[in-house]
């Protein structure tokens, strides 16, 4: 089955994400590719959905930020799109207050490992907002930096509102934060999408045991598929031993004595087990920075007790 390409549009409130979305949709149509859009708004009413024409499949996640309150709903929406809609490329526009890595995390969910091909995060930065960033709180500043840091493509937008000197400074500062991303200077987010579409996919998840996020992304994903049974205590011990550069783990763990594999969630130090009510594939995804893939796979193999017949 051909995997569907996924792009995440990120960027702080008002930076120009919806403006960019319109260009992206037009460019996809010009290439005869059918887009689908998933939009997330903090409020309970969507304001931007008018940007999407009626012939494009769209789902909306309202009243919450993808990253915290409704990540389960996001997965349900992704399932719904896969089952009910025909499309080639999925664009996820996140709320300006979202951390993009949390969204990548859902795309990399074990549920979708063989359906989606993650192509990258496109972050829009408002040059004027950036210039005046000292007015923002430390946590907002942190979020803006994170959105820039994790992008594969940076749209340095609203250049019309900056002098040439300021533009130079802006690009320099963006590159200080992320020198791996491609940076485009734009007015009204007008960028050649051909360049972005033709870039290599960021994460390949073929064969489940092989997942590498592209050379220029600091995040990595490792995927393991359990083949035998897992002892709960051994697994907890394994989790405790992992480095704190692991931000996220998620998957279905075939615990000894349980009918179905249990759903395991871990984010920023907090582990959580949930009973599943059906048999999911026992894929387990680990996302972080500076991970040793071989150590992770070997240590998981060591607690994966495959029954000998
Ligand atoms: N001057 C100027 N205005 C721009 C530019 N790009 C976008 N805008 C305007 O900035 C405003 C916000 O743009 P949007 O595309 O709605 O931004 P957004 O990131 O989707 O906003 P949220 O959904 O609130 O996060 C709109 O009024 C745009 O017309 C630009 O390059 N220059």
Among residues 144, 199, 135, which one has the least CA distance to residue 177?
144
**Ligand 1, residues 9, 18, 20, 49: which to mutate, most atoms within 8 A of Cβ?**
18
Q: CA-to-CA distance for 138 and 152, rounded, in angstroms?
A: 24
The tokens of 204 are what? 């390949």
Whether residue 251 is contained in a domain is answered as yes
The answer, as to whether pTM is greater than 0.95, is no
CA–centroid distance, 39 to ligand 1, in Å, is: 16
Task: Assign residue 145 the CATH number of its domain.
Answer: 3.40.50.300
Answer with the residue of higher pLDDT: 61 or 243: 243
Could you tell me if 124 and 185 lie in one domain? yes
Could you tell me if 136 and 165 lie in one domain? yes
> Which residue ranges have their beta carbon within 6 Å of ligand 1?
11, 13-19, 48, 96, 157-158, 160-161, 187-189
Could you tell me if 125 and 72 lie in one domain? yes
Could you tell me if 227 and 258 lie in one domain? yes
Q: CA-to-CA distance for 173 and 302, rounded, in angstroms?
A: 45
How many domains are contained in the chain? 2
Whether residue 206 is contained in a domain is answered as no
Could you tell me if 40 and 168 lie in one domain? yes
Could you tell me if 229 and 187 lie in one domain? no
Per residue in 197-244, pLDDT (tens digit) is: 887 665 443 322 223 333 333 556 788 899 999 999 999 999 999 987
* C-beta of residue 66 within 8 angstroms of C-beta of residue 95: yes
Among residues 136, 161, 251, 191, which one has the least CA distance to residue 22?
191
Could you tell me if 242 and 157 lie in one domain? no
* C-beta of residue 143 within 8 angstroms of C-beta of residue 12: yes
Q: How many CB atoms lie within 10 A of CB 11?
A: 30
Could you tell me if 169 and 280 lie in one domain? no
CA–centroid distance, 81 to ligand 1, in Å, is: 27
Could you tell me if 262 and 301 lie in one domain? yes
Per residue in 29-57, pLDDT (tens digit) is: 999 999 998 876 544 344 455 556 666 66
Could you tell me if 34 and 173 lie in one domain? yes
Boundaries of domain holding 259: 218-305
Whether residue 120 is contained in a domain is answered as yes
Whether residue 208 is contained in a domain is answered as no
Q: CA-to-CA distance for 126 and 179, rounded, in angstroms?
A: 18
Assign 3-state DSSP to the chain and report helix, strand, coil percentages, each to 5. 35, 30, 40
CA–centroid distance, 94 to ligand 1, in Å, is: 14
The tokens of 180 are what? 């791996």
Could you tell me if 10 and 76 lie in one domain? yes
Q: What is the pLDDT of residue 207?
A: 29
Task: Assign residue 296 the CATH number of its domain.
Answer: 3.30.1220.10
Whether residue 95 is contained in a domain is answered as yes
CA–centroid distance, 40 to ligand 1, in Å, is: 16
Using only C-alpha atoms, what is the Rg of the chain? 20
Whether residue 211 is contained in a domain is answered as no
Q: CA-to-CA distance for 153 and 33, rounded, in angstroms?
A: 21
- Tell me the percentage of the chain whose pLDDT exceeds 70: 78
């Amino acid at each position: 089955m051909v995997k569907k390409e996924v792009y995440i549009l990120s960027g702080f409130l008002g930076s120009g994400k919806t403006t960019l979305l319109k260009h992206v949709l037009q460019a996809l149509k010009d290439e005869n590719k059918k887009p689908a859009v998933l939009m997330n708004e903090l409020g309970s009413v969507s304001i931007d959905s008018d940007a999407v024409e009626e012939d494009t499949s769209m789902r909306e996640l309202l009243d919450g930020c993808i990253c915290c309150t409704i990540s389960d709903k996001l997965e349900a929406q992704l399932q719904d799109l896969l089952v009910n809609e025909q499309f080639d490329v999925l664009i996820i526009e996140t709320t300006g207050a979202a951390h993009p890595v949390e969204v990548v995390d859902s795309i990399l969910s074990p549920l979708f490992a063989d359906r989606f091909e993650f192509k990258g995060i496109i972050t829009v930065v408002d040059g004027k907002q950036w210039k005046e960033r000292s007015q923002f709180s430390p946590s907002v500043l942190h979020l803006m930096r994170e959105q820039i840091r994790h992008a594969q493509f940076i749209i340095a937008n609203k250049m019309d509102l900056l002098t040439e000197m300021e533009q130079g400074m802006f690009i320099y500062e963006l590159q200080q934060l992320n020198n791996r991303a491609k940076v485009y200077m734009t007015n009204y987010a007008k960028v050649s999408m051909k360049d972005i579409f033709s870039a290599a996919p960021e994460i390949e998840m073929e064969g489940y045991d092989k997942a590498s996020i592209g050379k220029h992304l600091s995040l990595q994903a490792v995927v393991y598929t359990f083949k035998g049974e897992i002892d709960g205590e051994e697994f907890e011990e394994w989790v405790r031993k992992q480095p704190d550069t692991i931000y996220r783990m998620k998957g279905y763990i075939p615990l000894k004595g349980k009918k179905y594999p249990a759903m395991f969630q871990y984010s920023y130090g907090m582990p959580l087990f949930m009973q599943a009510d059906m048999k999911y594939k026992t894929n387990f995804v680990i996302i972080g920075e500076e991970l040793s893939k071989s150590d992770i796979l070997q240590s998981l193999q060591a607690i994966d007790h495959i029954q000998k017949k």
